[in-house]
Structure 1
Amino acid sequence: MRKEVLIAALVVLSTLPVAAAHSQSNSLDAPNVDTGAAAQTTDVASSSASGSGSSAADDAEWNYTKLYVDADNGYLDLKPGESETFTVTVGNEEESAVTVNPHLYVPPTTRDKLDESWVEIDGETEIAPGEESEFTVTVSVPDDAEIARYNGMIAFTDERITYPGRPPRPVHAAHVGVEVWKEPTVEIVSDNYVRGQVEAGDSVTSQIVVKNTGDSAVPLSPELKRERGHCAGSGCPLTLDPSWIDIDAPSEIAPGETATVTVTMSPAEDAERGRYDTRIDLGLKDPARADDSSHWQEVDLNYVVWKQPSEPFETTVDVSERADNLTLTLSPQSSYRSNADSDGESASFDVEFVSPDGETIEAERVRVSDGGHVNLGRSRRGATRDGEYAIRDGGSEYVYRLDDPEAGEWNVRITPHNAISFRYEFVREESSESVTAGGAATTNDSTATSESAA
């Protein structure tokens, strides 16, 4: 409960520093801000606030009715045609009864003014000494009200407080704010975050689906947002060339229909590998949303650009005399889940084993496995496939094997195709024990590849 306490005060302006008077003026009369009635206890005439130092001003006294105001909740969220009620308690600390005049007051500096016809105030007009009186405030929003935040004050007396250069404000009052809203009629059905990976010189396409459930056509004019750089450091995304992005969309969405915005990312062949971020403003106008609210119809784009290496990835593995075979498992991986459509080609690898004495052996793939993960508690946004079962694809594994390998250090050459990154693992099955070593490689990370033994 927000309390606004109104205290009767005797103010001699000549003792009030000018700087303090200006500070209070700035805090009390800021538009659309509920400053609290406790601070509004002094009616300062503009002639007195001038700091002229006249004896008449120095001797002036102002008396205010000793009332306090306690409002439970004057901040309301209502749709057109709805109403809501809240209670304001007014206490009288005078030694005699006080007659009040509850009414709506709207400061002239308020942008969206609460209409008097929306507000009804019920309660006794006289408060006995030392007693409290409850007032019921009902706010009813008409059917044709525009979407906005409306503000005003429920004043209980005609006493005002004035500061230089500011309009008068009620001394005994409670703030009321009404957020008028409607159910949105335009919705982005697909994700607001498009992610994809694409080889430099190639292209990748994603689709943004928008639905209009309203009664009138909605304009649609998507375009890239031009933003100032706000990131510094090695982890920041690279600057995307706007010419790489092509957007295809209809100019409007008919009532009750859906529309598809097709976004194609085509980085140049000489594009630097790494992450590129940007944003699309769909240019939607929802009649049920405020004009100054646009973040809901913005879509983030995040792409990773990679390049096919010209030389194979090379690593070594030690094989003991007890080894019966040498197995290499390759697991292509994505840096993150992609919701953009690639060309559909599966990953593949060219693998060569070079023996300790220099003989090159082209290894044959002996096994391919696919996996995934099912989670009945995962949200739609966390799954790569949706339905009754939220499924996240686990990827594939490709296995290559050499039987009776020669003891010593083997050199292994791996050339990936359609794989932005991959994990590799060597397993040597030995007569008495098994030894495993592995590592990871990537075609888009600018850091050096590392290998670790397990």
Structure 2
Amino acid sequence: MKRVILIVLLVALASVPVATAVAPADGGTGATIPAQNDAVSTTTATGDDGGDDEPQNFTRLYVDAQNSYLDLKPGESETFTVTVENDEDEAVDVNPHVFTSPTDRSPIESSWVEIDGPDSIDSGEEAEYEVSVEVPEDTEIARYSGMIAFTDQTVATAPNRPDRPVHAAHMSVEVWKEPTVEILSETYINTQVEAGDSVTKQIVIENTGDESVPLSPERAEQRGHCYGTHCPQQVDQSWIEIDAPNQIAPGETATVTITLSPDAEADRGRYDTSIDLGLDDPNRRDDNTYWQEVNLNFVVWEQPEEPYEADFTVSERTDNVTLTLNPRNYRAAENADDPSFDVTFVSPDGERIDAERVQVTERGSVNLGAQRQQGATEDGAYATHSGQTEFVYVLDSPDAGEWTAEIMPDNTIGFQYELTRNESDDELDE
């Protein structure tokens, strides 16, 4: 006599695999729903048949699909394996076929799929089915979904939803093509701009396709709200000006110029926004637009009117004093000026001495990776990252006492300083 296992079959969404159901030892009901990429298996279940409270007895078959989520170009094909285990006390006849639901956005065409395997599975045995999928050359770009069902038994999943096969494996095919539109510039822009001034950034786009591509950049409204001391300021969209052609010819490049011009009264701080380039790549899905978003993060700063003062003490053993300055900047805009400093040393008796700059050092880093990395300023065999500039000033033979270094920065949003007193090794006279 066959055993009847009571379970509850849970299917939350059309795209969620059919649940495996197991009867707890205490006589209650239980169900385990695997993640979408897990193997799919189905066994005996109870269900509600149009309001009838009588339990439904389903054939005990376990279905396990391996690698059933495919990425294929038009004209390509691939094969995956589905294993079906028969837990009944007798052989079970099966009817492998493609099942699609009217609620699937892009259902898989049954003509794409061939299923090779036996039409009967002996008791306690497993059978393997080779599922071959071939995408026609004229297939549109989309994600196609469906199921490989092995019996005609179905179960209701939710009110007002179509029934689903009980013994089935989910599958999907992401049909794609090589993109013809490529953004050659970085799409994550970090820069700085002085209040009342302006900077520009350029985005270069290449069209390798056979037809013109529309280009219509738009400023994006700042999304969401943030509260706290570390939140970005709200961007005034009038600060942003975009200049671009309305299309990119086949085999050509186009440049989008973004100009940031915060007004003189703009608050200091960090601002985050984005720009949608309005591109239409015929080889990308219509709902895939993240690739053409330019994230624009910038800091508004103000040029101080008075210099920064750093006090230091000079002993009688001091031969000279060196002041090292390192400007701190975000990646420079195309029209940004180089940072610089005016440095004045003030002696204990108030004498003002213009500092002599004796050294300027440029530092950078190079990566030999094949791909251009985020933040790289040059591409190719050497991915070069812009480095740091260092300025060194010297004060020779200073008098002992309390000194002040007045530092006036220009074209930088910040800097680090280091004061070094080089002392003589000679012993002081008694």
TM-score range, shorter chain: 0.7 to 0.9
Other-structure match for 1:362: 353
The alignment's TM-score, normalised by the length of structure 2, stands at 0.85
- Does structure 1 conserve the Cα–Cα contact (< 8 Å) formed by 2:197 and 2:261? yes
The CA deviation at 1:433 is 7.8
Pairing 1:248-267 to 2, within 5 Å after superposition: 248-267=243-262
- Does structure 2 conserve the Cα–Cα contact (< 8 Å) formed by 1:384 and 1:392? yes
Other-structure match for 1:136: 130
**What are the Cα deviations for residues 211-258 of structure 1, in whole angstroms up to 9, with x where unaligned?**
111222111111111133343321222222111110001111112211
Q: 1:432 aligns with which of 397, 412, 425?
A: 425
Other-structure match for 2:37: none
Q: Whole-Å Cα distance in 1 between the matches of residues 357 and 58 of structure 2?
A: 94
Confirm whether residue 412 of structure 1 aligns to residue 416 of structure 2: no
Other-structure match for 1:157: 151
Identify which range, 414-423 or 232-241, moves more after superposition. 414-423
The CA deviation at 1:393 is 4.2
Other-structure match for 2:15: 32
Identify which range, 97-106 or 235-244, moves more after superposition. 97-106
Q: Whole-Å Cα distance in 2 between the matches of residues 264 and 365 of structure 1?
A: 37
Q: 2:324 aligns with which of 319, 324, 329?
A: 329
Q: Whole-Å Cα distance in 1 between the matches of residues 128 and 384 of structure 2?
A: 57
- Does structure 1 conserve the Cα–Cα contact (< 8 Å) formed by 2:5 and 2:45? no
Distance 1:387 1:184, change over 3 A: closer
Distance 1:8 1:28, change over 3 A: farther
AA aligned opposite 2:103 = T
Q: Whole-Å Cα distance in 2 between the matches of residues 433 and 383 of structure 1?
A: 49
- Does structure 2 conserve the Cα–Cα contact (< 8 Å) formed by 1:40 and 1:161? no
Q: Whole-Å Cα distance in 2 between the matches of residues 316 and 179 of structure 1?
A: 65
The structure with more helix, counted as a fraction of residues = 1
- Does structure 1 conserve the Cα–Cα contact (< 8 Å) formed by 2:201 and 2:257? yes
Q: How many residues align?
A: 402
Q: Whole-Å Cα distance in 1 between the matches of residues 317 and 353 of structure 2?
A: 23
Q: Whole-Å Cα distance in 1 between the matches of residues 323 and 332 of structure 2?
A: 30
Distance 1:394 1:185, change over 3 A: closer
Secondary structure of the residue that 1:369 maps to in structure 2? Answer: strand
AA aligned opposite 2:325 = L
Confirm whether residue 373 of structure 1 aligns to residue 367 of structure 2: no
Distance 1:225 1:45, change over 3 A: same
Identify which range, 33-42 or 225-234, moves more after superposition. 33-42
Identify which range, 325-334 or 232-241, moves more after superposition. 325-334
Q: Which runs of 5+ in 2 are unaligned?
A: 20-40
Confirm whether residue 399 of structure 1 aligns to residue 403 of structure 2: no
Q: Whole-Å Cα distance in 2 between the matches of residues 81 and 381 of structure 1?
A: 34
Q: Whole-Å Cα distance in 2 between the matches of residues 343 and 416 of structure 1?
A: 15
Other-structure match for 2:415: 422
The CA deviation at 1:29 is 5.8
Q: 1:244 aligns with which of 221, 239, 253?
A: 239
- Does structure 2 conserve the Cα–Cα contact (< 8 Å) formed by 1:78 and 1:180? yes
Secondary structure of the residue that 1:28 maps to in structure 2? Answer: coil
Q: 1:179 aligns with which of 149, 152, 174?
A: 174
Other-structure match for 1:449: none
Secondary structure of the residue that 2:364 maps to in structure 1? Answer: strand
- Does structure 2 conserve the Cα–Cα contact (< 8 Å) formed by 1:113 and 1:152? yes
Identify which range, 185-194 or 159-168, moves more after superposition. 159-168
- What's the C-alpha RMSD, in Å, of the aligned pairs? 2.6
Confirm whether residue 353 of structure 1 aligns to residue 348 of structure 2: no
Q: Whole-Å Cα distance in 1 between the matches of residues 393 and 67 of structure 2?
A: 70
Other-structure match for 1:89: 83
Identify which range, 317-326 or 390-399, moves more after superposition. 390-399
Pairing 1:92-131 to 2, within 5 Å after superposition: 92-131=86-125
Q: Whole-Å Cα distance in 1 between the matches of residues 129 and 260 of structure 2?
A: 62
Distance 1:433 1:250, change over 3 A: farther
AA aligned opposite 1:45 = D
The alignment's TM-score, normalised by the length of structure 1, stands at 0.81
Secondary structure of the residue that 1:117 maps to in structure 2? Answer: helix
AA aligned opposite 1:107 = S
Confirm whether residue 342 of structure 1 aligns to residue 335 of structure 2: yes
Distance 1:411 1:42, change over 3 A: same
The CA deviation at 1:158 is 1.8
Distance 1:341 1:409, change over 3 A: same
The CA deviation at 1:409 is 0.7
Identify which range, 73-82 or 371-380, moves more after superposition. 371-380
Q: Which runs of 5+ in 1 are unaligned?
A: 1-6, 50-59, 435-454
Distance 1:402 1:99, change over 3 A: closer
Confirm whether residue 272 of structure 1 aligns to residue 301 of structure 2: no
- Does structure 1 conserve the Cα–Cα contact (< 8 Å) formed by 2:42 and 2:168? no
**What are the Cα deviations for residues 50-85 of structure 1, in whole angstroms up to 9, with x where unaligned?**
xxxxxxxxxx56443333323223221111111111
The CA deviation at 1:281 is 0.6
- Does structure 2 conserve the Cα–Cα contact (< 8 Å) formed by 1:328 and 1:399? yes
